[in-house]
Amino acid sequence: MGIVRTIAIVVLSISFVVFVALFGRLPAFRRTPIAFLHRLLWVYIPNAFGALDERLTGRRVFFVALQFIGEILFIPAAWNRLSFLQLAVLPPLIVAPLWFLYLSNVTSSNITPQNHRAAMVAYPYDFALFHPGYFCSTCHFAKPARSKHCSICKACVQKQDHHCIWINNCVGRNNYIWFNALLVSIATLLFYGSWLGWGLLDQRLQDRLVPPALTRGSLTSKRWSTRLDWGEYFHAWAWAIAVEWRIGAVMMLAMMCIPLSLGFLVYHLYLIWAGMTTNESAKWSDWKEDIADRVVFRAEMKTLRETFPALPEDVEPRERDVRWPAGVRAKWWLVRTRDGEQPRMTVRSRRTENGHAGSNHGKGTREEEVPDERWERVTSIAQVENIYDLGFWDNLVDGLSNRG
């Protein structure tokens, strides 16, 4: 039981680290030890070991080492007991995650002077999450819609989703297809490894507890787990894992990682369905809270354009130049107010000799602020339109094919 306990502790520790890395940024963990550990994994440790990792493996050391160690432990111990078909499936399943990891790492979505114009016309501004006229204080570029500056990559990233510590690169417009292929290949490898490990250990228990001699001549085969209570059942599995510790350790690690990898894959499928990135999902959460606080207002774009015309073309591309369905543009302009009151506008009125307005013989004009009736309060997130959501299949095509 000692070796089983050690394996379980190691597997749980790795799973906890993966959980912190993936979900430590969630608002629920702010100002908690989880958030600190998340920053430790994302910022402090990468900065400390980044140079060495870059020199040795191109910043893929942890993922590659974890996969290779598992395969070195598992495959030699199981080789003679696997069928030809089971062995034939292994090479593509092993190579696929490494290949997609490589493509995700080396494919850059960073904005450069050469591709800045293409990034500017890739998506329209929605005037909710992204507005024209903002410049990155570090890169000194006009910020394209759906872009975000990454402090780790030290660059603005097109359609930035998040910075992934496993690929040590930002997931963005150009490598989103490879990142999702990586998630699918990892989940497939984990399921296959778990299934193989379970089958091998189950067969070991069958051979140990129900020798063929006991069932020779029987019309039905007997299972080793028949008539065992739960205590005996788990004790038998503990024995099998202790005897076949290489296969058992890798199987347990794979099983523990399946919920995390599958959850991450399902989450990104949800993002594709919703027409969002991870970065935009956080922004929409902020809007939802502000709407609940009754500090959000909206106004029709066509009425505001009378007061706020389009900016210069190099800052706000003309609609005809944007590579997005022509009819899908922002209809509403969203703003927050600090006091929750309707936005105000300055009007000028003519001042008369006795201080009253309205006379044509006044002595001048005066300015006063009045509520701007063009703005109406937003009471539900349903009143806010996500122009980047074209429906699941069109979102999928955009995410996989719309690359710079």
Q: Which residues are catalytic?
A: 164
Hey, CA dihedral for 56, 61, 67, 69, is it positive or negative? positive
Dihedrals φ, ψ of 218, to 5°? -85, 140
Q: How far is CA 273 from the centre of its chain?
A: 13
Contact 241, 201 (CB under 8 A): yes
Closest Cα to residue 192, out of 94, 80, 65, 266?
Answer: 94
How is residue 263 written in tokens? 């959850």
Angle at 377 between CA 374 and CA 383, to 5 degrees: 105
Instruction: Give dist(CA 85, CA 87) in Å, integer.
Output: 5
**Buried/exposed code over 225-247 (b: 16+ C-beta within 10 A; e: otherwise):** eeeeeeeeeeebbbbbbeebbbb
Beta-ladder partners of 104: none
CA distances from 102 to 59, 92, 141, 207 (A): 10, 15, 29, 42
